Amino acid sequence: MEFLLYLALGAAAGTLAGLFGVGGGTVIVPVLVYSFVAQGMDSSVLTHMAVGTSLATIIFTSINSVLEHHKKGAVLWSVAGWMSVGILLGAGLGALTADAIQGPWLQKLIGVFAIVIALQLALELKPKAAKPLPGKAGLGVVGTLVGWASAIFGIGGGSLNVPYLTWRSVPVQQAVATSAACGFPIAVAGAISFMWVGHGTPNLPEWSIGYVYLPALLGIALTSMPFARVGARLAHRLSPRLLKRLFALLLTVVGVSFLI
């Protein structure tokens, strides 16, 4: 039953990754937390396990999402490349930061983040194009900050990158596509860092490498890869306003439950 849950979670996360450029982590982390609690995983590690495993699954989600966006010529590779230089550093620092935060407090931070993203989606808060993109150094600094925050929350960075790129006068479809491209280095650097900082931690479950739980990674990866392509195709065809609002409602419920 648990493996079936991971398969369903992967399908949902992959679709969201392609559709919104959010990397699926905003769904994966809360569901994994609930799943790990039901499995009886130790409370001192389960939130870190959810974040680390989420980042590992986004490696697979982002590959297929980026391929679909690349086919449509929407990825700004020079922007993604220079941001990725900072992302690699930031994701490592984010894993170290998360490791220093106790599980219950990390869960509350994730709850606050979920509510903030829900408000952004529900109210359709989008920054207006105001400034051009910065130079290479500026993109590197932004990448470091995005990588740091993304590793703490177990996300692919889309909820941070897309608004930033839109504010920097990048058309929304290119912003989503470029954000998806940035999700790959975030996921790789974050997952490796969580494996490293979690290595040797007491009370880890079987079949885990540091803070990455392999059964969940396998189940989610199997379905997230094909469904990421489905989401990316839908992003170029549909107006997802209703879906965004339903997703916002779900995130609000999750966020509040984490804070209580």
Please tell me the pTM assigned to this model.
0.86
Short-list 194, 233, 165, CA closest to 57: 194
Q: Could you give the residue ranges of the DSSP H alpha helices within 43-157? A: 46-71, 77-99, 103-122, 136-153
Output the pLDDT for position 95: 95
Do the Cβ atoms of 76 and 132 come closer than 8 Å? no
Higher pLDDT: 25 or 108? It is 108
Q: pLDDT grade, residue 14 (50/70/90)?
A: confident
pLDDT tens, position by position, 207-257: 999 999 999 999 988 887 788 777 777 766 766 566 677 677 877 887 888
Q: Give ∠ CA 96-191-175 in degrees, rounded to 5.
A: 100
As a whole number of angstroms, the distance between CA 197 and CA 88 comes to 16
pLDDT tens, position by position, 158-191: 888 888 998 898 888 898 889 889 989 999 999 9
Q: pLDDT grade, residue 136 (50/70/90)?
A: very high
With a CB cutoff of 8 Å and minimum separation 6, the contacts of 80 are 178, 181, 182
